[in-house]
Amino acid sequence: MADGRLNLSPAYDMIGNLVSAAFNLPMDRVVAEVDALVEATDSRNANWQRIALGLGWRTWDVGAKNEEEDLIKVEGKEKRKIQGIQKAKETRAKTKQVQTDFYMNILPYMDKKFQDEFWMMSRADRNKYIKEYKK
Residues 6+ apart with CB under 8 A from 66: 7, 35, 39, 59
Q: What is the domain partition of the chain in residue ranges? A: 10-65, 77-134
**Helix (H), strand (E) at residue 132:** helix 123-134
Residues 6+ apart with CB under 8 A from 32: 16, 58
pLDDT tens digits along 12-48: 889 999 999 999 999 999 998 888 888 888 888 889 9
pTM of the model: 0.49
Which pLDDT belongs to residue 3? 61
- Can you say whether residue 110 is alpha, beta or left, with left for phi > 0 and alpha for psi between -120 and 50 degrees? beta
Which pLDDT belongs to residue 39? 82
What are the counts of helices (DSSP H) followed by strands (DSSP E) for the chain?
7, 0
Which pLDDT belongs to residue 26? 93
Which pLDDT belongs to residue 23? 95
List, for the chain, all residue ranges whose pLDDT scores fall below the cut of 50. 1
Maximum pairwise Cα distance, the chain = 83
- Residues 30 and 27: their CA atoms lie apart, in Å, by 5
- Residues 48 and 63: their CA atoms lie apart, in Å, by 11
